[in-house]
Amino acid sequence: MDSAHVESDLINILFTEEQIQAKLQEMADRIAADYEGQDLLMVGVLRGAVMVMADLSRSLGRHVEMDWMAVSSYGSGTKSSGVVRILKDLDTDISGRHVLVVDEIIDTGLTLSWLISNLSSRNPASVEIATLLRKPEALSMPVEPKYVGWDIPNEFVVGYGLDYKERYRNLRDIGTLAPHVYS
């Protein structure tokens, strides 16, 4: 979906599809260099990371395994509920594996902090985070991603996997959602 289809729902476009693809290629180049000669398991955090995971993995010039987890701390609102639940666990044993958790955004850090702790308890060789977006002002839990596309203001953004009530995920750009949509 093009941003012209939802123009009245957005305050502005933060990143275009072209900017996103270029940033993911930069991140993929760093990841490929850092994990050269090592098996890498990319773990996508459903549902938001689908777009990032697909395009990031295709930007890598190497084989990678992929698995998915679904965890939730949001429900259908715009703020984290504070309670993390596993909705879908990994199908892969990560013991001794290099794991790269891929997410679309780090907001409060609550979900990823909990997820990294959970995965680290499963004896992986390493666990790192790659995220397209991070909101430093919103962080309430310490989370240290190894790969970050952009830091953004603490605004409600949608597109490229980011949603509001399951809408806007298929928007090709990332934009700030207008308050009249969610107020």
Residue 165 lies in a domain: no
Q: Is residue 177 part of a domain?
A: no
Q: Which of 107, 151, 163, 173 is catalytic?
A: 107
181, part of any domain: no
Say if 85 falls within a structural domain.
yes
Is 65 in a helix, a strand, or coil? strand
Nearest to 12, CA basis, from 168, 175, 127:
175
Asked if residue 137 belongs to a domain, the reply is yes
| Alpha-helix runs per DSSP H in 36-98 | 50-59
In a domain, 112, yes or no: yes
Closest CA to 155 of 172, 181, 128, 137: 137
Question: Which residues are CB-contacts of 112 (< 8 A; sequence separation ≥ 6)?
Answer: 45, 101, 103, 106, 129, 131, 141, 143, 145
Per the structure, the count of domains in the chain is: 1
**Number of Cβ atoms within 10 Å of the Cβ of 77:** 10
Task: Report the predicted TM-score, pTM, of the whole model to 2 decimal places.
Answer: 0.92
**Is residue 183 in some structural domain?**
no
pLDDT along the chain (183 residues), means of 10: 90 97 98 96 95 97 95 62 84 98 94 94 98 95 95 96 95 96 89
**Residue 102 is part of a domain; what is its CATH number?**
3.40.50.2020
Q: Does 36 reside within a domain?
A: yes
Q: Is 107 in the active site? A: yes
pLDDT in the model for residue 41: 98
The set of residues, in sequence order, having a beta carbon less than 8 Å from that of 93 and lying 6+ positions away, is 122
Structural domain including 60 reads: 17-153
Give CA angle at 3 (24, 20), nearest 5°: 10
- Quote the pLDDT of residue 85: 85
